[in-house]
Amino acid sequence: MPPRLNVSAFSRSIAFRPKPQVQWPARSALRVAPSQTRTYADDKAPAQDRSHKPSSEPIEHVSEEAAKTAQIMGEQGPDVNQGTPVEDLVKGDKEAQKNLPKVMQDALKQGKKTPAPKGSRSYSTMTTRSNEGMDMGLVDFEAVSKLPVTPGLKFEAPTLPLPKDGHVKHRYDPVVEQVTNLLMRHGKKSVAQRQMAVVLQHLRTSPIPTINPARPLLAGAPPPSHLPLNPVLYLTLAIDSVAPLLRIRAIKGAAGGGMALQMPAPLSQRQRRRTAIQWILGAASKRRNTGSGKNSLGQRVAQEMISVIEGKSGVWDRRNAVHKLGVAARANIVLPKRR
C-alpha cells in the first residue's frame, strides 16, 4: 500500500500565494486563431463540440493511472479514493526534488516543525508594493532574453524586457516625474527639474540615514547603506513609507443633525503618493531657509526626505492621524447585505 497524504506537512505552507510570474506572453505565429463564429452555450450538437470525444478527456491523475495499470497487471494499485501528494511521489528522487517549487523544497527541508506565527497586530496599516519588487534603479542589468526569431520581420525583434527608458513619454521614473510636477510653480517645469536635480544630488551626498525602528519603512526596503547611491529609490521609499492608505471623505449631513459623516475611502497608489509628496513639500517649505541662492528649496525638500526616512518628520504623525481616524470611521461603512 503506498503511503497516504501527509496532512500535517501542508499545514503552514499551503497559505503561500506565489507571485504571478511576470513573463512576456510569447506569441507564436503558429497559434491557432480563435473561431470567428460564436455559438450559444446550449446549442444542440454544435459542429466543433468535441468535449465528448475520448481524446478531449483530461489526462488522468498519476494515482488513477497507476491504479489502472495495476488493475491490468493484476496487482493491487494505490487507493484512488484518496489523492497522492507530490511529496510522496518525489520521495527519494533527488532529481525530481530539484524541480519542485521553492515552497515545497523549503517544506521538505523544514521537516515536520511548524514555524511560529509572525506578527501580533490585529490590523495592518502597512502596505507593500503590489506588483513589482523594489526598483533598484539599475538600467540594462537584467538578463535579456531574445524573442524567438520570427520570419518576415523587417527589423530585428527587440530584446526583452524592454528598457525602462524605452518609451519617449515614460522614460523617467514615475515618482521622480510626479515630484517634479508637484514642485512646479507657474508652469516652469525646467526650474522644477533643476530643483529635482538638487534634491537627488543632496540625497546622494548626504550621510547614510539611521532608521528609527519606531517608524518602520516599507516592508522589503533595502538596508539604509544602499540608499544614498540610489537617490531615486531613496526618494520613492520616503514617499511610499509615509503615504496614507486612505482619505476621510466627509459626507455632509449624512450623520444626522447637520453632522458630516466621516467615511474612509481608499486611495490609489498615485493618489497616495500625491498626498505624501504634498505633505513633504509643505513641511519643506515651512523649514528654515539657512542658505541662499536658487538651490535652497531643493535642499530643504531633500532634508525633509531624509528626516522622513529617519522617522523625525512630522509627516509621520499626520499619516498616523489619518489612519487612526480611518480606523475609527470604519464603523460608518455600510456594506450591502448579502443575499
Partner 1 sequence: MPSANCLRNFSQLSLDATAHSTAASRFLQPRVACFSTSAARYANPQMKKKGMTAAPKKGVKTLNTKKSKGASGADAGKRPAQGERKAQRKRIVLSNNNALEVSSLKDLTKTNVLSEANEGLVMGLPEPVVDALRDVEAFKTTQGWSFFRRPAVLVRKEAIQLAKLFKAAEEAAPGKDKKTIRRILTGNRMSGKSTLLLQGLSMAFLRQWFVISLPECQDIVNAHTDYAPLEGSEPTQYTQDTYTAALLSQTLKANKAYFENAKITQKHDLAVPLPAKAKLSDLVAIGVANPEASWSVFKALWTELSQPGQPQILLAAEGLSHIMQNSEYMNADVKPIHAHDLTIVRHFVDHLSGVKQLPNGGVVLAATSKSNAPASPAMDFRIKSAEALKIQTSIPQWNPYTNGDARTMEALKDLENPKADLDILEVGGLSKEEARSIMEYYAESGMLRHQVNDGLVTEKWSLAGMGNIGELERASVRARI
Q: From the CB of 241, what's the least distance to partner 1, in Å?
A: 20
Q: From the CB of 112, what's the least distance to partner 1, in Å?
A: 45
- Which residues are CB-contacts of 123 (< 8 A; sequence separation ≥ 6)? 327
Q: What angle do CA 181, 185, 191 make, to 5 degrees?
A: 75
Identity of the residue, 46 or 174, whose beta carbon is nearer to partner 1 in the bound complex: 174
Rounded Cα distance, 8 and 266, in Å:
38
Rounded Cα distance, 199 and 302, in Å:
5
What is the distance in angstroms between the CA of the first residue and the CA of the last residue of the chain? 47
Identity of the residue, 87 or 177, whose beta carbon is nearer to partner 1 in the bound complex: 177
The site for partner 1 (CB under 8 A) is made up of 137-141, 172-173, 176-177, 180, 193-194, 196-197, 200-201, 204-208, 228-230, 288, 290-293
Rounded Cα distance, 124 and 262, in Å:
20
Q: From the CB of 193, what's the least distance to partner 1, in Å?
A: 5
Identity of the residue, 236 or 262, whose beta carbon is nearer to partner 1 in the bound complex: 236
SS3 132: coil
At 144, the amino acid letter reads V
Closest CA to 199 of 284, 300, 277: 300
